[in-house]
Amino acid sequence: MTDQLRIALAQLNPKVGDLSGNLALARKALDDAKAARADILMLSELFLTGYFPDDLLFKEQFIKDAIGTARALVADTKGTDVVLILPTIWLDVTGLHNAVLVAEHGDITAIRYKRELPNSDVFYEKRYFEPGPLPLPVSIKGVSVGIPICEDVWHTPVCEHLAMRGAEIMLCPNGSPYWTNKQHIRKDLVRARVAEDGVPMLYLNQVGGQDELVFDGASFAMEPGDKLAVQGRSFEPDFIVSDWTRSENGWTCTNGRIEELTSVEEAPWRACVLGLRDYVQKNGFSHVVLGLSGGIDSAVVAAMAADAFGPEKVHAIMLPYRYTSEASLRDAKDCADRLGVRYDVVAIGDPVDNALNELQPIFGNRPIDIAEENIQSRMRGTILMAVSNKLGSMLLTTGNKSEMGVGYATIYGDMNGGYNPLKDMFKMDVYALAAWRNKHLPGDCLGRAGEVIPQSIIDKAPSAELRPDQTDQDSLPPYLVLDDILTCIVEEEMALDDVVARGHDAALVTRIARLLNIAEYKRRQSAPGPKITPRAFGQGRKYPITNGYKDGTIG
């Protein structure tokens, strides 16, 4: 038995399915723990497989390989005094489990299973795993340690049971994705468990982007008495070592580093940049290309790309047509110059006009409408995809959540691309981020400091410039109004009557709801992007394309 523990939390960035790469990360963490003379090293949830493996878990060979990888890491603890808490998948006679192995001196000394399997939002663990029983504490160096796994702490039974069975300290591995205010939500949750059970908890979260999810790290430890004992970095890998001492009042932290959390204003930028960086790099790309129109959305995406990869790996292309204003040409070049990215101009006049000429026998004398406008957008998409194919750059698309919500994006045109950093960002949030970025440069960002997005872009009326003197507000309400209506319907699932009761025009609310419904097929074919809100299109909000329900309580 010991009255002193040094605990290391490895807040790392695994890649789903990369068993050998994740094993290498874990081995490096084990070496770091040895060097730090840690007693315990904990990895984050399902570390070796990455979180979350989805239907890889239906592959028998993947399960076999993952368990073999876990056994190899367990063997690495031989000859060291570090006790490893290794979250992994594990198979027994009851089925497949989301598990934790406790490894010491080359052997597995304990196995614990996750009991509370999430079955909502973005994770459907009941599709793959069997729930475990209420777990017992594990004896580590004579100390009774509870190991609740992620969702286990969102409900009272597991931690309560562990405390009643004598757990003196809780170590909780997590794969908890970011959304707005999530860092504070987690703290409040752990604060409640610690207050209820009277036992300190160390909460380890992974970091990094995985498809549409972003894991923000921000691992921490909380003691009874509402005391924050440890706080790790946000949106960056971290190796967090803290010292704990047992007294008659229980375990307290005697040496713990506390980093400042990212602000509510900064966190969305960091999440988008991290999600973009990891999506591109984990899929084998090293540079990106995008259309830079002189508007706010493409300017913000270009700035995010420069922050993610460095200006030298970002290629911006202006694709003007006869309706492109001189102001847009000027603003696009100004933005590219400020960011320091490569900038080219590829005019689409001849290709569009030739297409219209060839289509004239089919279009006949029908009046000009959205079909002709969409040819411009689709020509731009075709050219950008050609550059992507030829130069090997991933094409970024730039539509925001407001536009995608009402279908104001051209499928197979400006929706072309491999990733959309603004997918879950309403238009007014894009403006707020632009203003924030012009005043701040986060430490892990590789772009330039200062006003990288020209104020003229922020100030101008948004326009697709697909016809003379066009603005978005020709056919949409002001974005402040549109965003509130969409927030009510999408984020809050409010009845339309309740949206009207907030002061919105009934006919407008009905129209926006209709546009939202009929654009589902577009969103289903859109590029992935980082989930920033609880109700992101795709990952957080799953609606049928063929949908006969109409909220008909108003109008």
Asked if residue 260 belongs to a known ligand binding site, the reply is: no
CA distances, 62 to each of 50, 211, 425, 488 (Å): 12, 20, 35, 42
- Give the whole-angstrom CA distance, residue 340 versus residue 312: 7
b/e map of 523-543 (b: 16 or more CB within 10 Å)? beebbbbbbbbebbbbbbbee
Question: Of residues 150, 159, 253, 272, which has the active-site annotation?
Answer: 150
Is 150 catalytic? The answer is yes
Q: Round to whole Å and give the CA distance between 50 and 43.
A: 11
Chain center to CA of 482: 24
Is 292 marked as binding a ligand? Answer: yes
132 annotated ligand binder: no
For 363, counting Cβ atoms within 10 Å of its Cβ (0-12 exposed, 13-18 middle, 19+ buried), the class is middle
Which residues have C-beta within 8 Å of that of residue 184, sequence separation ≥ 6? none
Q: Own/partner pairs for 136-140, CB < 8 Å, 24+ apart?
A: 136/162, 136/165, 137/162, 137/165, 137/166, 137/167, 137/168, 138/102, 138/109, 138/110, 138/112, 139/110, 140/39, 140/40, 140/83, 140/102, 140/104
Determine contact, residues 257/231, Cβ cutoff 8 Å.
Answer: yes
Annotated binding residue at 263? no
With beta carbons less than 8 A apart as the criterion, state whether 402 and 296 touch: no
522 is in an annotated binding site: yes
Q: How far apart are CA 486 and CA 492, in angstroms?
A: 9
Q: Which residues pair with 209 in a beta bridge?
A: 214
Catalytic pick from 15, 104, 114, 401? 114
In 3D space, the residue among 368, 367, 366, 370 whose CA is nearest the CA of residue 378 turns out to be 370
The answer to whether residue 45 is catalytic is yes
Q: Confirm whether residue 226 is marked as ligand binding.
A: no
Q: Is 469 annotated as a binding residue?
A: no
Which two tokens mark 68? 């073999």
Known binding residue 104? Answer is no
Annotated active-site residue in 15, 45, 151, 272: 45
CA distances from 309 to 274, 275, 297, 301, 419 (A): 10, 12, 18, 12, 14
**Runs of H (alpha helix) within 134-266:** 156-164, 182-197
Q: Is 284 annotated as a binding residue?
A: no
283 is in an annotated binding site: no
Structural contact between residues 216 and 444, judged by C-beta atoms closer than 8 angstroms? no
Catalytic machinery residues: 45, 114, 150
Q: Which residues are annotated as a binding site?
A: 176, 182, 291-298, 374, 398, 403, 522
Residue numbers in the known binding site for deamido-NAD(+) are 374, 403, 522
Q: What residues are designated binding site for ATP?
A: 291-298, 398
